[in-house]
Amino acid sequence: MNNPNRYEEVPQKENKFAKGLKAFGRYLKFVFVDFFNSFKYNNMKLAAILFALPGILLGFFMFAHVPTIRHVTVSYVRSVEGSNVSIVPTLNADSTDPTDFKLTLGEYDGYKNIVLVKDSYDTEAEGFNQDTTPIDGFAKSDNQTTQLSQPEATLTQLDKDSYGISISGLDDTEKTNVKYYSVFIYEVVDEHNYFFTYSTYSEGQANVNITRLTAGTSYTVAVKAIAADNSVYYSSKLSENSAFVVETSGSSASSQDYDEANSKYIKYQGEYSVDTVNGAAATGDIKDLKLVVKANGDVVYTYAGNTVNARLTTAGEGLVSNAQETVNILPFDFSAIAIFVLTLFGFLNVFLSLELSKKKNLGSVIKAALTTVVIVGLGALYIYAIIATDNALQLENGLKLGGVTTMFDTNCIISIVTVSAAAFFSLAGLILAFINYDRTYEKVDR
């Protein structure tokens, strides 16, 4: 008979969230247990995992490979020791052309005090046109008898991306004879100005867009008044430089080769031949010496059937030319190709690792050996290219890379470690695969 007063204990329901966590924990336990247990039943699994790692590593660290590749250099030009030739430039007082120089070589091939005169020069040549080149203006015809006054440039920042330049110093008559104003921007490096870019404007205020310039870098700007065509005036001298610093703008860093960009040698540009040697008329082989000075400071000597390339540098009030030689670091730049192929074969390793784990046969091991040879070989070549470039950087008269003093920055170290690890894991996976592959495997035709 049922007793209505009897108490029956009802079990308490378990919390759904706690129940779910327990179930998930049991799932993870079985997953990890099954994963580790699987190594007992598949002796190729570790080899397959090691073999798949290069593809993951090489692709994931591409951010470090790219800047490293950019610094790898095939060759560079350096000065030949003991090839210095002192040069004293003298402006011809009788000439109205401010680029009409004589050059006196201190000594060349045993001859001393060799005076060379300028035979020809093209003031309209590319890189020398006085309208577009940062040199003082000069008369180009007898009709041009008066030089425009030297302008003064006032710089005003308009916004973070541009500056305005206002011009003063010319009277009303001169202004009517100005065709336009040339604007020259220089980058300041080690307290020296290096010609960076050029633009023009005709009147009013010039807005100089600076998005190409580098944030945090110092620049100076100079202007020149360009005389109108068929005017009695000729172009002015360059104004004094006005300094400014780009504080927030700049879309990319400058990659200027400052020696190439230096404009202070433009006025010496031209072809020269020997006039006198040590105060007397030239005789012998030296009378055939020819000298070509280019706008960027490159010099070419032609003498006794030989051609010598040299480079101008300043030495006090004079100049010095240094013969140049090309030093080859690498036969060609294979670093980018190496990384591309390494990444390609790294991804191929991922697919081969699945075949290793599944088939475990000699054929899959041979395929793995082929990709491993490529990865190890190209990895060694890539690291060699980096070390060879760094060795050239460390030489006293060696490679110059615009502020880069060593290859081994953070990106380079990451790149080397990644490539080395890819080669190591691929080689380790291959060794394990060769040890453990199924020697009884036979392909069955179905």
CA 432, chain centre distance (Å): 43
Return the residue matching tokens 């060593």.
406
Picking from 238, 257, 276, the residue at the C-terminal end of a domain is 257
Does the residue 9 lie in any domain?
no
- What strand order describes the sheet that includes 218-227? 192-201, 178-189, 218-227, 242-245
Tell me the pLDDT of the chain averaged across its residues. 79
Does the residue 17 lie in any domain?
no
Residues 187 and 207 reside in one and the same domain: yes
Residues 248 and 336 reside in one and the same domain: no
Q: Which two tokens stand for residue 251?
A: 């879309």
Does the residue 19 lie in any domain?
no
Does the residue 32 lie in any domain?
no
Picking from 326, 352, 375, the residue at the C-terminal end of a domain is 326
Helix (H) or strand (E) holding 38: helix 16-41
Does the residue 21 lie in any domain?
no
In the chain, the amino acid numbered 322 is N
Picking from 326, 351, 377, the residue at the C-terminal end of a domain is 326
Residues 235 and 278 reside in one and the same domain: no
Residues 114 and 225 reside in one and the same domain: no
Which domain, by its residues, includes 310? 77-125+263-326
Does the residue 34 lie in any domain?
no
Global pTM?
0.59
User: Taking residues 99-128, what's their average pLDDT?
Assistant: 78
In the chain, the amino acid numbered 280 is A
Does the residue 446 lie in any domain?
no
Q: Which two tokens stand for residue 83?
A: 């090839």
Residues 279 and 346 reside in one and the same domain: no
- Spell out the residues 6+ positions from residue 101 whose beta carbon is closer than 8 angstroms to its own: 89, 90, 91, 92, 118, 267, 268, 270
CA distances from 176 to 165, 200, 233, 334 (A): 19, 17, 11, 58
**How many domains is the chain partitioned into structurally?**
3
What is the rounded distance in angstroms from the CA atom of residue 94 to the CA atom of residue 20? 100
User: Taking residues 294-299, what's their average pLDDT?
Assistant: 82
CA 429, chain centre distance (Å): 38
Does the residue 6 lie in any domain?
no
Q: What is the pLDDT of residues 203-243, one digit of tens each?
A: 544 445 545 566 667 778 888 888 888 889 999 998 888 77
pLDDT: which is higher, 289 or 259: 289
Residues 160 and 247 reside in one and the same domain: yes
Residues 49 and 142 reside in one and the same domain: no
pLDDT: which is higher, 281 or 191: 281
pLDDT attached to residue 267 = 77
In this structure, are residues 178 and 131 in contact, taking their beta carbons and an 8 Å threshold?
A: no
In this structure, are residues 426 and 369 in contact, taking their beta carbons and an 8 Å threshold?
A: no
Residues 147 and 224 reside in one and the same domain: yes
Residues 271 and 289 reside in one and the same domain: yes
pLDDT attached to residue 308 = 92
Strongest mean pLDDT among 27-31, 136-140, 194-198, 372-376: 372-376
CATH for 170:
2.60.40.10
pLDDT score of 162 more than 80:
no
Residues 289 and 335 reside in one and the same domain: no
Residue 239, φ and ψ in degrees, nearest 5: -70, 165
Tell which residue, 254, 125, 155, 135, has the closest CA to residue 196: 254
What is the rounded distance in angstroms from the CA atom of residue 239 to the CA atom of residue 151? 5
